[in-house]
Amino acid sequence: MHVKARLLTPRTTVSAHCDLPCGVYDPAQARIEAESVKMICQKYAENTDEAFRTRAILIKEQRAELVKHHLWVLWTDYFKPPHFEKYPELHQLFNEATKLAGATGAKGSVDVDVAQQLLDKIAQIDKIFWETKQA
């Protein structure tokens, strides 16, 4: 048993501020999905066909759910305590952005202004994200 434990013990210890080496996280994923949400809201408003509108809502809700997913991954996997100390507004930004993507926001609405508010929050998160990459 002792030999097995010795063989399985890592010989090299590495550290990173995120789960994987940098380069796998990017707010662009959330932004692209949020842009789709906004475009769908615009197309929904321009079209009166009920079948089209039903499909648009279904796709918009799927895209909004992906926005939330990508934001949560950034919030929980990329950003670490030193980031939150340097940017104390970060938790609030993520909370507001995920709510804007959720049922009380873009997922539950076809309002283009709500979709734009979501994009604006993502832009604020994106700015901080790239500042942390410069450090």
68-83, pLDDT tens digit by residue? Answer: 999 999 999 999 999 9
Q: What pLDDT score was predicted for residue 97? A: 98
Tokens at 107, concatenated: 């997922």
Whether pTM > 0.75 for this model: the answer is yes
> For residue 19, is it within any domain?
no
Q: What share of the chain is helix, strand, coil (3-state, %, to 5)?
A: 75, 0, 25
The pLDDT tens digits of the residues spanning 10-31 come to: 666 555 544 555 567 899 999 9
Q: What is the pLDDT of residue 10?
A: 66
Cα→Cα distances 29→44, 48, 69, Å: 23, 30, 10
99 occurs within a structural domain: yes
State the Cα angle at 19 between 32 and 91, rounded to 5°. 60
Q: Give the chain's mean pLDDT.
A: 90
Does residue 86 surpass a pLDDT of 80?
yes
Q: For residues 121 and 31, give the distance between their C-alpha atoms in angstroms, rounded to a whole number.
A: 10
Residue-number span of the structural domain to which 95 is assigned: 24-134
Which tens digit of pLDDT belongs to each residue from 101-134?
A: 999 999 999 999 999 999 999 999 999 999 998 8
pLDDT, tens only, 45-59 = 999 999 999 999 999
In a domain, 2, yes or no: no
Q: Distance of CA 71 to CAs 83, 95, 110, Å?
A: 15, 9, 20
In a domain, 13, yes or no: no
Residue 5 counted as domain residue: no
Number of domain units in the chain: 1
Cα–Cα dist 82/87, whole Å? 8
How far is residue 121's CA from residue 2's CA, in Å, rounded to a whole number? 53
> Is 78 inside a domain boundary?
yes
